[in-house]
Amino acid sequence: MKKKLNTAKAPGALGPYSQAVEIDNLVYTSGQLGICPESGNLLEGVKAQTKQALENVKAILAEAGLGMNDIIKTLVFIQDMNDFGAVNEVYAEYINGDVLPARSCVEVAKLPKGGLVEIEVIALKK
């Protein structure tokens, strides 16, 4: 059964999509930008945007009763591959443990709202 997940602790969708969808024991989040849910503003700088994007992911997963250690796959979009190290530095503060999730990281020409990073995840309910 497919279930829509939504929380006010993460920014609302910028288009016709859900913050996340739960199907059986998997949760798929939509890509999260570094947008502060309270102000609706995009934070400045790649580290601040990465941290906020991961806080948004964390809030969405919490709505499903999950945590960051339940992530099994991450997809990171960055506007400039030169920011790879800075993104990894912040990412490692949130994603750690004995079994790290699989991950892809790709450079893209442009992100919504002029974002520098966007992160989506798949998490597993045990």
At residue 124, φ and ψ (nearest 5 deg) are -110, 125
- pLDDT at res. 106: 98
Q: Scanning the structure block, which residue is given the tokens 């806080």? A: 55
Domain CATH number, residue 86: 3.30.1330.40
The pLDDT of residue 51: 98
pLDDT at 75: 98
Compute φ and ψ for 99, nearest 5 degrees.
Answer: -120, 100
Tally of domains in the chain = 1
Tokens of 77: 């979009």
Q: Note down the domain range covering 111.
A: 2-124
The residue-averaged pLDDT of 79-108 equals 97
90 residue type, one letter: V
Q: Are 74 and 121 in contact (CB under 8 A)?
A: yes
Ordered strands of the 20-23 beta sheet? 2-5, 20-23, 26-29, 117-124, 71-78, 102-107
Instruction: Supply the pLDDT for residue 13.
Output: 84
- pLDDT score of 1: 86
Side-chain half-sphere CA neighbours of 95 within 13 A: 28
Each residue of 46-81: pLDDT tens digit? 999 999 999 999 999 999 999 999 999 999 999 999
